Structure 1
């Protein structure tokens, strides 16, 4: 069980990622569309917490300034262990600063931050495939390459319980 602080996309951007998931599922590649509880949203996680106090995390994030909506550019594919693959975004100094601010704030609540989200170790990504080993990885890379370059619009943020899909929208985008 984990709690993620997620950036979410506007409806047209969300649709682009869901269409990619659908094309890959049709090709026999498991994606976030069918992973675990099946309620996943296309997203980019600022942080993933392994333990937390929900009300403290919510209050802390509510106290951060609103950094507003923004666009993200994607230019490649990331391949992770165990057949996981993702869209690779260009990382602006602003995005890195936002992520560091969120991480610092939630760690101060006593939350246990997953090691992959520590500043300097964070690999920003939008998850696509959850199981694409070997030859299937070529299918994923081709499907992603077919839609690149890609610009997605971040228009909101939320806390998401990864085990259930339960979502708590944030009032603004930190």
Structure 2
């Protein structure tokens, strides 16, 4: 079981991403909304590991209380070409986003068991997942259904630790 530190979007951005999920579904491409992820919310994952302790959660909450949560521009339709072929909307990386990511990882350093290297500073590609585990024809159909994508300005309004098995979120910060 993994846990993810996720930053959730304001209502308008949440609705915009859900409309992309609906476009995928109408095109016959299973989005996160139809792949058994009914509880899944549009978000950007900042860290992933096997466990975030209570103390680590408290330290994150304290640090996040000091930070200004930036807006994220979701702008680029893309994929991570792995065996799980995911369709994503990548964020424009700017100094504010990187500063928050770095601050979060300063708190998490040596405190989260089995951290995922994909989310570490220097490796992280901030994105909102639209669909996953797609074969090549479904991936191509997903691109065709969504291209071109209008950029989405997502204000980050909530931060939580999500249990990736159940979808339950322990909210740390709401703005």
Does the TM-score normalized on the shorter chain lie above 0.5? yes
Deviates more, 1:57-66 or 1:15-24: 57-66
2:102 pairs, out of 100, 103, 120, with 100
2:165 paired with 1:166: no
Q: Contact 2:118 / 2:124 at 8 angstroms: preserved in 1?
A: yes
Structure 1 stretches of at least 4 aligned residues deviating more than 6 Å after TM superposition? none
Q: Secondary structure at the match of 2:103?
A: helix
Q: Could you say if the C-alpha distance between residues 51 and 170 of structure 1 is closer, same or farther in structure 2, counting changes exceeding 3 Å?
A: closer
Deviations 1:21-64 (A, max 9, x none): 112122221221133453111000110112332x1221111220
Flag structure 2 segments of 5+ consecutive residues without an equivalent.
none
Deviates more, 1:103-112 or 1:2-11: 103-112
Q: Secondary structure at the match of 2:139?
A: helix
Q: Could you say if the C-alpha distance between residues 57 and 34 of structure 1 is closer, same or farther in structure 2, counting changes exceeding 3 Å?
A: farther
* Residue number in structure 2 paired with 1:40: 40
Distance (whole Å) between structure 2 residues aligned to residue 123 and residue 110 of structure 1:
20
How many correspondences in the alignment? 172
2:110 paired with 1:111: no
* Residue number in structure 2 paired with 1:127: 129
> How far 1:140 sits from its partner (Å)?
2.0
Q: TM-score, with normalisation over the residues of structure 1?
A: 0.88
Q: Secondary structure at the match of 1:15?
A: helix
* Residue number in structure 2 paired with 1:78: 78
Q: TM-score, with normalisation over the residues of structure 2?
A: 0.88
Flag structure 1 segments of 5+ consecutive residues without an equivalent.
none
